[in-house]
């Protein structure tokens, strides 16, 4: 079968592969809706996880089951499923300690387009089908559900890791699709004043629809100064970093206060050391904590996110700005993600 792959660093193209073998507890799935991620761009063009040869890209998918192994209980060929970007090894000790995205090694729950072929092919393999697939509810379009695999799972985790309480003031730095999902998550968890940092007009528009109360343009001056001015010097209770560059972490610390949580969901690339401002961080004693995390995967996470859609709490379809038809269009969708035209939030490819 064919798939769209990272051929080596800085090079993508179509490859021919053998149909993957289905293990006893696994499934082979054909895609119905696919979306590229900014992480695919970091992987191919920034070398963020090192080189890969002829590895099929993509980790955001909704699909239809083609085959299941003999030990799979809850799924059968023909079932429509939401496929999480992260498919952990649930028996691993890291999963048992509560960190299922980090099974076997750091980021080890992330398999598709990291160390095995991803979802941008006619078929893809899913490990532990009963634990890592969720049935697609009939009321949700596959394209909408594809926004749950990674975008909403990551963004909502960003808000969870920021320990938002009812009435917390929150800043979300970066409002691409990941940051926008974090805005939605912060609103659900009870944010009061909710700053969203970004400039693209479509993103600003969706940020407001998802619950942002104030928009900050990072091009108009340091964002910590803008947020301190807007809060009479107080700063915010929670900061979610979902974009920016190596200057962003220092700015996050400078807008935090004692007890604030900074939650990073940005995929850092471009430098080996992340700077922190010693004085603003109270010489390391300011009770300003930094939490990190990789998108949660697995069945229960996907089922919970799908129920948020079913009961009208989140509207993932607002992230979709560009729609394509046909597997061959994943190439165009990926290049859009690389070029980031100003009207882009997220492209989706229907198969
Ligand atoms: P986008 O590129 O679409 O969005 C980036 C956002 O950051 C935009 O709003 C942009 O503003 C803003 N930004 C750019 N420069 C600055 C700056 N100097 N200061 C403040 N804000 C700035 O990215 P995505 O939403 O697709 O992805 C965000 C990150 O999340 C990526 O690094 C991605 O790899 C990562 N990711 C992490 C996951 C995880 O599990 N932790 C999972 C999935 C993705 P503007 O409006 O001007 O463009
Ligand atoms: Zn991703």
Cα 197 from chain centroid (whole Å): 18
> Ligand 1 pocket, 155 CB below 6 A?
no
Architecture field, domain 2-146+315-350: Alpha-Beta Complex (3.90)
Secondary structure class of 327 (helix, strand, coil): helix
Instruction: Report pLDDT for 83.
Output: 98
Protein residues with C-beta less than 5 angstroms from the ion ligand 2: 37, 39, 150
Residues shown for the chain: 351
Domain with CATH 3.90.180.10 in the chain: 2-146+315-350
Per-residue pLDDT of the chain (351 residues; tens, 9 = 90+): 999 999 999 999 999 999 999 999 999 999 999 999 999 999 999 888 889 999 999 999 999 999 999 999 999 999 999 999 999 999 999 999 999 999 999 999 999 999 999 999 999 999 999 999 999 999 999 999 999 999 999 999 999 999 999 999 999 999 999 999 999 999 999 999 999 999 999 999 999 999 999 999 999 999 999 999 999 999 999 999 999 998 999 999 999 999 999 999 999 887 889 999 999 999 999 999 999 999 999 999 999 999 999 999 999 999 999 999 999 999 999 999 999 999 999 999 999
Hey, whose CA ends up nearest to atom 1 of ligand 1?
176
**ipTM of this predicted complex?**
0.98
pLDDT at residue number 255: 98
Q: Which of 272, 271, 290, 265 is nearest to 280 (CA)?
A: 290
Q: Which ligand is nearest to the CA of 85?
A: 2
Residue nearest to atom 30 of ligand 1 (CA): 266
Whole-number Å distance between alpha carbons of 5 and 113? 9
Query: C-alpha angle with apex 268: 85 to 243, nearest 5 degrees?
Result: 80
Residues 6 or more apart whose CB falls under 8 angstroms from that of 308 comprise 152, 188, 314
Question: Residue 161, exposed/middle/buried by CB under 10 A (0-12, 13-18, 19+)?
Answer: buried
Q: What is the fold of 155-292? A: Rossmann fold (3.40.50)
Give the pLDDT confidence score for residue 270 in this predicted structure: 78
**Ligand nearest 197 Cα, by number?**
1
pTM over 0.80: yes
Whole-angstrom CA distances from 68 to 6, 85, 156, 224, 339 are: 27, 19, 30, 51, 38
Q: Write out the two tokens for 104.
A: 């076997």
Are the C-beta atoms of residues 57 and 40 closer than 8 Å to each other?
A: yes
Task: State the first-to-last Cα distance of the chain, in angstroms, to the nearest integer.
Answer: 15
The alpha carbon of 148 and the centre of ligand 2 are apart by a number of angstroms equal to: 11
In the chain, which residues fall in CATH 3.40.50.720? Answer: 155-292
SS3 label, residue 80: strand
Q: Are 180 and 210 within 8 A, CB to CB?
A: yes
* Phi, psi (degrees; rounded to nearest 5) at 138: -60, -30
State residue 172 phi and psi, 5-degree precision. Answer: -110, 115
With a 6 Å cutoff on the Cβ, whether 173 touches ligand 1 is: yes
Closest CA to 184 of 197, 196, 201, 199: 196
Backbone angles phi, psi at 39, to 5 degrees: -65, -35
Dist. CA 319–CA 36, nearest whole Å: 13
Q: What pLDDT is recorded for position 165? A: 97
Give the integer Cα–Cα distance in Å for 68 and 281.
52
Both tokens of residue 223?
């964002």
């Amino acid at each position: 079968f064919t798939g769209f792959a990272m051929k080596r660093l800085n090079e993508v193209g179509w490859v021919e592969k053998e149909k993957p073998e289905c293990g006893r507890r696994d499934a082979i799935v054909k895609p119905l809706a696919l979306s590229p991620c900014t992480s695919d761009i970091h992987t191919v063009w920034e070398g963020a996880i090192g080189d890969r040869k002829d590895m099929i890209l993509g980790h955001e998918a909704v699909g239809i089951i083609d085959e299941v192994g003999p030990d799979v209980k809850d799924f059968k060929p023909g079932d429509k499923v939401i496929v999480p970007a992260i498919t952990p090894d649930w028996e691993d000790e890291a999963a048992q300690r509560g960190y299922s995205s980090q099974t076997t090694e750091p980021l080890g729950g992330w398999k598709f387009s990291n160390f095995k072929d991803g979802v941008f092919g006619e078929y893809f393999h899913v490990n532990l089908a009963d634990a890592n697939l969720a049935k697609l509810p009939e009321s949700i379009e596959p394209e909408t559900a594809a926004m749950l695999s990674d975008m909403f799972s990551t963004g909502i985790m960003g808000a969870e890791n920021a320990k938002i309480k009812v009435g917390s003031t929150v800043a979300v730095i970066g409002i691409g699709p990941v940051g926008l999902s974090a805005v939605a998550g912060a609103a659900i968890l009870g944010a009061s004043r909710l700053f969203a940092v970004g400039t693209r007009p479509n993103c600003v528009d969706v940020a407001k629809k998802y619950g942002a109360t104030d928009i900050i343009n990072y091009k108009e001056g340091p964002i910590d100064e803008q947020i301190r001015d807007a809060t009479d010097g107080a700063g915010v209770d929670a900061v979610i970093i979902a974009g920016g560059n190596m200057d962003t972490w220092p700015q996050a610390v400078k807008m935090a206060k004692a007890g604030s949580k900074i939650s990073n969901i940005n995929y850092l690339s471009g430098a080996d050391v992340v700077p922190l401002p010693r004085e603003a961080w109270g010489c390391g004693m300011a009770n300003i904590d930094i939490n990190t995390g990789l998108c949660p995967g697995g069945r229960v996470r996907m089922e919970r996110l799908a129920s948020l859609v079913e009961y009208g709490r989140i509207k993932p379809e607002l992230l979709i700005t560009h729609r394509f038809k046909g597997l061959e269009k994943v190439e165009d969708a990926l290049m859009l993600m690389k070029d980031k035209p100003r009207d882009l939030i997220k492209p989706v490819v229907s198969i």
